Amino acid sequence: MLKIGILGSGFIADFHMQAYKQLCDVRVVSVASRTRAESFARSWGISGWFGGDEFMDGLCGDRELDAVDICLPNFLHVDAVRACADNHKNVILEKPLGRNVREAKEIADAATRSGVLHGYAENQVYLPQIKRAERLIRGGAMGKVLHVRAREAHFGPHSDWFWEKELSGGGSLLDMGCHSLEVTRKLVGSEPRQAFGAGSTQLHRDKTDAEDESVSLIKYSGGEIGQAENSWSAHGGLDMRYEIFGSEGALFLDVTRETGLKLFTVADESKVGYVVEKSEAAKGWLYPIWREALLYGYVDELKDFTDSFAKGELPSENFNDGLLVNQMIDACYRSFSSGKWEPIER
C-alpha cells in the first residue's frame, strides 16, 4: 500500500481525492494546507492533517509517507518541491511545473539532485479519449499528423491568486495552454522548434493584467503545426476540445459538450445541481458531465504515477515534460511581445 500526503486542500486536491478513492493500492494518509486542512481531512476520511505556517515541512517530514502530491498555487511550487526533495519523498506536482522556465529548471534540478521520482500532473495527456486517439495515430489510422488544434476555455479561474500575474506566472496561456500545448506535443510526436502567438487582456481588465485570451502556434521538426486557443473569457462552462488533422484522416474530440447526455430544462436551477466545471447556468440545453475524475484523466494519471513509484520507476509524464512545457510557453510569451516567431530554447 503506497502512502500519500497531499499539500493543499483546494479545488484540485478535491479532484485528486476523487481519483485516489478509485485506486486500490494507494491510501492518502495526510493532508496539509494553510487553511481547511482539518475539514478536508475529515470530509475525505484522512487520518492526519497539518495546518498553520509550517504545514509544508510538517507533512514532508512525516516518515510514514512514500510520496507527496503537491496541489498548491503556482507560487509555492518551488518551495514545495524543495521540501519534498530535502525529505527524499517521491513527488507529484500539479501543472504548470513553474511560473517560468527558470523556476521549472530549479524544480527539475531539485528532484534530479535528490534522486526522487517525479510525476508532472498534466491530466489531459491521460484523458481516456486522448489515449485512444494516440493509439489510432500510432497505429497509422491518421497517416502523418499535420495539424493539431486544441482549445481549452472558460470564464476565468476560481481563486484570487490565479488573477495576480506575480503569483500565478501568467494568464490563460500558462494556466490552460499548458494542457493544450502538452497534449498537442504528445499527439504530434516530434520536436517543438518555434513558437508564435498573440495574447490580450480584454474582458477582465478590472481583475488582472494577465492575458484572458490567447492563441499560440508551435512549429515542429517534421513541419507539423500545433495550435492552442486558451481563454478566461469564454462563456458556457469548461470547453475542452481537440481536432487532429492527418494525411489520411481527421479526428474530433469534445470532452465537455459531447458527454453522451443532453438535458433541456426550465426547472429551477437548484433542482439541476452540478452540471460541469465552471458552468454559468443550469437552465436550457445542458450537457451534464459524469465521472469527471475519470473523464478528465485524473484516475489514470494518478494510477500511472503511483504504479510507477511502487515499481521504483519514473512515470511516463514527469518533470522533464513539465520543463519542456514551460519552455514552449516562455517562447510563446516572447512572441506575444516581439510579434515574431521565437525559438523554443532547450
Ligand X SMILES: NC(=O)c1ccc[n+]([C@@H]2O[C@H](COP(=O)([O-])OP(=O)(O)OC[C@H]3O[C@@H](n4cnc5c(N)ncnc54)[C@H](O)[C@@H]3O)[C@@H](O)[C@H]2O)c1
Residue 74 binds ligand X (CB under 6 A)? yes
Which window, 67-75, 204-212, 238-246, 322-330, contacts ligand X (CB under 6 A)? 67-75
Question: Is 5 an interacting residue with respect to ligand X (CB under 6 A)?
Answer: no
- Contact positions with ligand X (CB under 6 A) in 164-183: none
User: Which position among 1, 25, 35, 132 is part of the footprint of ligand X (CB under 6 A)?
Assistant: 35
d(CA 64, CA 84): 13
| Nearest residue (CB) to ligand X, 31 versus 142 | 31
The least CB distance from residue 346 to ligand X, in Å, is: 23
Taking residue 271's Cβ as centre, other Cβ atoms within 10 Å add up to 8
| Distance between CA atoms of residues 51 and 65, nearest Å | 17
Piece in contact with ligand X (CB under 6 A), picked from 70-78, 109-117, 204-212, 307-315: 70-78
125 vs 282, which CB is nearer to ligand X? 125
Q: Are 237 and 154 in contact (CB under 8 A)?
A: yes
Residue 3's DSSP bridge partners are: 27
Stretch binding ligand X (CB under 6 A), from 3-11, 138-146, 265-273, 325-333: 3-11
Output 6 or 142, the one with its CB closest to ligand X: 6
Site for ligand X in 78-117 (CB under 6 A): 94-95
Q: Which DSSP string corresponds to 52-80?
A: STTHHHHHHT-TT-SEEEE---GGGHHHH
When asked if residue 71 is in the footprint of ligand X (CB under 6 A), the reply is yes
Residue 241 near ligand X by CB under 6 A: no
Beta pairing, strands 2-7 & 67-70: parallel
Nearer to ligand X, 9 or 318 (CB): 9
Close Cβ partners of 147 (under 8 Å, ≥ 6 residues apart): 224, 225, 226, 227, 244, 245
> Of 137, 168, 130, whose CA–CA distance to 152 is shortest?
130
For the CB of residue 327, give the shortest distance to ligand X in the complex, in Å: 18
Candidate segments 27-35, 128-136, 223-231, 323-331, binder of ligand X by CB under 6 A: 27-35
Window contacting ligand X (CB under 6 A); options: 30-38, 107-115, 188-196, 331-339: 30-38
- The 8-class DSSP code of residue 11 comes to H
Residues 157-163: contacts with CB under 8 Å, at least 24 apart:
157/232, 158/11, 158/278, 159/10, 159/11, 159/73, 161/73, 161/74, 161/75, 162/73, 163/204, 163/207, 163/208, 163/210
Nearest approach, Cβ of residue 237 and ligand X (Å): 14
Can residue 34 be called a binding residue for ligand X (CB under 6 A)? Answer: yes
Smallest distance, Å, CB 158 to ligand X? 6
Nearest CA to 4 among 14, 12, 17?
Answer: 17
- Tell me which residues touch ligand X (CB under 6 A): 8-13, 33-36, 71-74, 76, 94-95, 123, 159, 161
